[in-house]
């Protein structure tokens, strides 16, 4: 026997609320991207990039926690994901540092 799929812990309305939040955040991201894309806003480019990264991570977390049910499922699923997420973040940091110190020509 194996465990049956999880029963619905989230009412459908909560999924819709999460979706609305995702849609709104996407709109905000689009606005930020439009603003920092203007040459006259070069001064706030770094801040805009940081905001975009944070907002994207929030969206990804919302999808994983609610739509993929990680918030309500066994913690073993989340634990198992930690390693590849850590490796992915590590790769991103290393690549960015390496590209800045030794640009690939």
Q: Which residues of the chain form contacts with another protein (CB under 8 A)?
A: 1-8, 10, 12, 15-16, 19, 22-23, 26-27, 29-30, 32-34, 36, 49, 52-53, 55-56, 59-60, 63-64, 66-69, 73-74, 76-77, 80-81, 83-85, 87-88, 91-92, 95-96, 98-99, 103-105
Alpha-carbon separation of residue 67 from 43, 64, 79 (angstroms): 37, 6, 17
Q: Cβ of residue 43: shortest distance to another protein, in angstroms?
A: 16
Which residue's CB is nearer to another protein, number 41 or number 96? 96
Q: Cβ of residue 94: shortest distance to another protein, in angstroms?
A: 8
Q: For residue 48, how many other CB atoms are within 10 A of its CB?
A: 19
Q: Cβ of residue 39: shortest distance to another protein, in angstroms?
A: 12
- Whether residue 29 contacts residue 56, with contact meaning beta carbons closer than 8 Å, is answered with yes
- Whether residue 22 contacts residue 59, with contact meaning beta carbons closer than 8 Å, is answered with yes
Q: Cβ of residue 31: shortest distance to another protein, in angstroms?
A: 10
Which residue's CB is nearer to another protein, number 41 or number 68? 68
């Amino acid at each position: 026997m194996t465990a049956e799929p999880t029963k619905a812990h989230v009412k459908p309305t909560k999924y819709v609320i999460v979706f609305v939040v995702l849609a709104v955040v996407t709109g905000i991201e689009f606005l930020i991207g439009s603003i920092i894309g203007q040459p006259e806003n070069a001064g706030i480019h770094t801040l805009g990039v940081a905001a975009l990264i944070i907002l994207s991570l929030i969206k990804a977390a919302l999808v994983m926690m609610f739509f993929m049910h990680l918030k309500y499922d066994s913690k073993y699923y989340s634990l198992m994901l930690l390693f590849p997420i850590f490796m992915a973040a590590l790769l991103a940091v290393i690549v960015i540092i390496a590209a800045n110190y030794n640009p690939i020509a």
